[in-house]
Structure 1
Amino acid sequence: MEDKQAVLSTILTMTANLEKGDLDGVMASYEPGASILFEPGQPVADATAARQIFGDLAATKPAVHYGEHEVYVTGDMAVHLAPWGMRGTAPGCEDVTMGGLTVAVLRRQPDGKWLMLFDNPHGAHGLETAKAE
């Protein structure tokens, strides 16, 4: 149970840091070389590019909410699943709304901390595509 709480804490801390615009805090939730899918099917593993995209998201002053969290841990690996939504306002005063199913894979570090190595906030994308066919 302790590991599940630590994994969930990593997810919620990253989210809180994004909402505050703390990009250092956001990036500290990821392993070096982590793969993040800001768009379905387009993984970003470059930390500089990821930081820029997170900065663009933070500029919308996002408010993120989650549905029920599922966390599964086996050894030093964990999977986090949860429906999520986000609302914000783009610099041009346009409303920004997005959401989906987040699927994140985390690994326990030698110091016991859990960090994300794969983050896909569009985990349901393939299901939506299959329904349309």
Structure 2
Amino acid sequence: MSNYEKATRPEDITRLFVERSNAGDAEGVAALYTEDAVLAYPPGGQTVGRSAIQALWAKVLANRPHFELEESLPTLVSGDLALTSTAPKDGAGARAQVVRRQPDGSWLRVLDQPEFTPPTSG
């Protein structure tokens, strides 16, 4: 996985995710996560660890979905942690990720909440 472009800023991960997903590259998508990352997907569940995330994305990408780059919202950084989010184009409500700076200065996802729709009050 070392031949992949690294995220030099927390916001780079979203672009790299879209590029690799649209290329059908599950290994490349998984390379954006730490070894012990937690992905809140499928809806209502969790996928834990880079290898499990790669297996999940291999299944998802087999259907050749198309992803569009979404507008990044302001990133919140505290030391080696950052909270990134995007304004979803598909009405999913919110997307948010916690990323961690790696020893080489690059960033990887630690926690990923790709879809969250708040409950409606009523």
TM-score by length of 2: 0.80
Partner residue of 1:82 out of 82, 86, 92: 86
* Gapped regions of structure 1 (runs ≥ 5): 87-97
Q: 2:60 is matched with which residue?
A: 57
Q: For residues 92 and 63 of structure 2, what CA distance do their matches in structure 1 show?
A: 15
Q: Which has the higher contact order (CA 8 A, sep 6+)?
A: 2
Percent of pairs with identical residues: 25
Question: Which protein is richer in helix relative to its size?
Answer: 1
Taking structure 1 as reference, are residues 63 and 99 closer, same or farther at Cα in structure 2, changes over 3 Å only? farther
* Gapped regions of structure 2 (runs ≥ 5): 1-7
Equivalent residue pairs, number? 115
1:20 aligns with 2:20: no
Deviations 1:93-117 (A, max 9, x none): xxxxx84421100000111000000
Q: 1:105 is matched with which residue?
A: 98
Shift of 1:84: 2.7
Taking structure 1 as reference, are residues 64 and 84 closer, same or farther at Cα in structure 2, changes over 3 Å only? farther
Q: For residues 115 and 46 of structure 1, what CA distance do their matches in structure 2 show?
A: 13
Greater C-alpha Rg: 1
Determine if contact 1:85/1:100 at 8 Å carries over to the other structure.
no
Alignment of 1:37-52 (within 5 A): 37-52=40-55
